[in-house]
Amino acid sequence: MSPELLMIFVKNPVEGKVKTRLAKTVGHAKALEVYGELVAHTNAVAKKIPFDKAVFYSDEILTDDIFDPKHFQKYDQEGSDLGKRMLNAFKLAFGKRYRRVVIIGSDSFEITPRIIKQAFEELNTNNFVIGPSHDGGYYLLGMSALHVSLFKNKKWSHDEVLQDTLIDIRNMNGTYKLLKELIDVDNEEDLLNSKKNAGV
C-alpha cells in the first residue's frame, strides 16, 4: 500500500446512458464508442502511475473489463448525486489511511501521467490540487485530508462548480494549486478539440 491513491470515476458502458449530450449529434452508438475510447485512454494513463489505484463504477462493478483487478481496486459509486458519490469515495480512501488522494473522471483525451503525477506532488505542499476543465468544472481534484464542504451546495455539471469550490477553499484558508486546463468531452466540438490537442 502506498500513501497515495488515484481514484477513477467511470460510467458503466451502456448505450444511451453515456455521453448523452454528444449523442444528440453523433447518435448513441457512436457516443458509446467514444466513451470506450476515453475509458481506454484513462486506463492506459493510470497504469503508468506508480501509486495505488481504484475504479468506482456508476452502476455495478465490472470484474472482466480493461481495469485489471491485480492493479485496480474496484468499488461502486455510492450517493444520489455526483457530490455525494465523490465525498463517499474520499471518505473510503481516507478511512483506509491514504494521505494524498486524487480523483479523476474518464472524460478527456488530454489527461496524461505527467499531469496526475504533478497533482500528487502538489499535495506535498498544498491542501488541495484542482485540474480545471474548459466548461467551468474540473477534471481532477486532490486533497491531503477530507474536507466535506467541497461536496456540499454545488450545482453539479454547472459552469460555476470550479469557482464555487475555490470559494470554499479560500473560506477555510486552504492552499491550492491549479493545474493545466483541459477539455472534458461533452459534445462534438469538445471531441474534435480534445483529440486535436491530445494528438489522437
User: 105-140 pLDDT, tens per residue?
Assistant: 999 999 999 999 999 999 999 999 999 999 899 999
Residues in the chain, total: 200
Contacts of 63 (CB under 8 A, 6+ apart): 69, 74
**Under 8 Å between Cβ of 91 and 54:** no
**pLDDT at res. 154:** 82
User: Residues 9-39, buried b or exposed e (16+ Cβ, 10 A)?
Assistant: bbbeeeeebbbeebbeeeebebbbbbbeebb
Confidence of residue 158 (pLDDT cuts 50, 70, 90): confident
**Under 8 Å between Cβ of 184 and 139:** yes
Could you tell me the CATH number of the domain that includes residue 101?
A: 3.90.550.10
Confidence of residue 146 (pLDDT cuts 50, 70, 90): very high
**pLDDT at res. 200:** 76
For residue 166, the surrounding DSSP H or E stretch is helix 161-171
The C-alpha cell at 64 is 472482466
In angstroms, rounded to a whole number, what is the distance separating the alpha carbons of residues 129 and 146?
13
In angstroms, rounded to a whole number, what is the distance separating the alpha carbons of residues 13 and 18?
7
pLDDT digit string (tens) for 38-61? 999 999 999 999 999 999 999 999
**pLDDT at res. 107:** 94
Specify the pairing of strand 138-143 against strand 128-132. antiparallel
**Under 8 Å between Cβ of 31 and 25:** no
In angstroms, rounded to a whole number, what is the distance separating the alpha carbons of residues 55 and 194?
23
Is the pLDDT reported for residue 144 higher than 80?
Answer: yes
**pLDDT at res. 156:** 82
**pLDDT at res. 100:** 97
Please tell me the total count of domains within the chain.
1
Is the pLDDT reported for residue 186 higher than 80?
Answer: yes
The pTM score is 0.96
* CA 5 remoteness from chain centre: 13
Give the residue numbers spanning the domain of 164: 4-198
pLDDT more than 90, % of the chain: 87
